[in-house]
Every structure is written in C-alpha cells, then in structure tokens.
Copies of this chain bind each other. A is one copy, B any other.
Amino acid sequence: MIRILVSSDPIDLAGEMARMEGDDVGAVASFCGLVRADDGVDRLELEHYPGATEAALDRIARAASERWSLQAATIIHRVGPMHPGERIVLVLAAAPHRHDALDACAYLIDRLKTDAPFWKRETRGGEARWVEARHGDAVAAARWTDPTP
C-alpha cells in the first residue's frame, strides 16, 4: 500500500505511524527531516511542482516496493513556509522483516532528495536565499542504482 501526501499542513507523525501498523507487520522504519535553526535559519519555504511532485514520489515508492518486500510505503512532504523544529518530510516503510524496512526507508529519502521537484528557500535575519543542491545527495542516490531501468 502506497501513500503519498504533499501538503502545507504540519506532518502528523503519530497518525502516519499508526497507519503503518497491523497484525502482520513486523517492522516499521521511519525517517523524518526537520527544519534546523543551528545555522541561523529562522524560516524555510518549500516550493514544488504540483502534479509532477506527487507522480515522482509515487514512482519512488513503487520502485521501493518492487525492490524490497514491503507491506506499506509512505512519503509525506510538507510545502509552503515553515519554521525551525518543524517537520519537512516523513518517509515510512513497513515490512515483515527489519532489513527490508530499514533499507527501503533509506532508499525513499535518498531518492526523494534527487528525484522529486522540491526547492528550498531559507531566510536568515530577513535575507532569503535558495538552497543549492548538494553533490552528496547525488552520490547517496547513486548507491541505490536500480537493478531495472
């Protein structure tokens, strides 16, 4: 079961977690990314490409489901303005066995970083700047090179 959500509402972590659990689920792995204040950011804005974003996230979740034995894969991404400490992204993978859940979870977030059309704009003391793509993200995504095209 794949669940994709792109929304300007705060991410309901507990609710999303609860959706993953069931009598036959043995393992749920999650990754949550948050707005960090430590480099002086006081506001973060997330822009996206409506329609194309959801399609990209769906492709990523489907690729994970083909690669590992999953019972559920969820990708939630917040868009619009947010503040330090708030959740930007949540990915979840549920599986009978733990390594499927853990590996799929890492895959979902690594792929999302390079394959989904989102753009971050940070504001520090009134000054806004678009975040630059990180080379490390491309490297991280490349280690998952799909066995199938």
Partner of A13, one of B17, B106, B140: B17
Cβ of A46 under 8 Å from chain B: no
**8 Å CB contacts to B: which residues of A18-57?**
21-34, 36-38
Give the docked Cα–Cα distance between A36 and B23 (Å): 6
Within the complex, what minimum Cβ distance (angstroms) separates A14 from chain B? 3
Residue pair A109, B105 in contact (C-beta under 8 Å): no
Residue pair A31, B106 in contact (C-beta under 8 Å): no
Residue pair A23, B102 in contact (C-beta under 8 Å): no
Partner of A26, one of B23, B26, B33, B99: B33
Give the docked Cα–Cα distance between A38 and B140 (Å): 35
Chain B contacts for A30, CB-based, 8 A = 28-32
**CB within 8 Å for A25 and B34 given contacts A14-B17, A99-B140:** yes
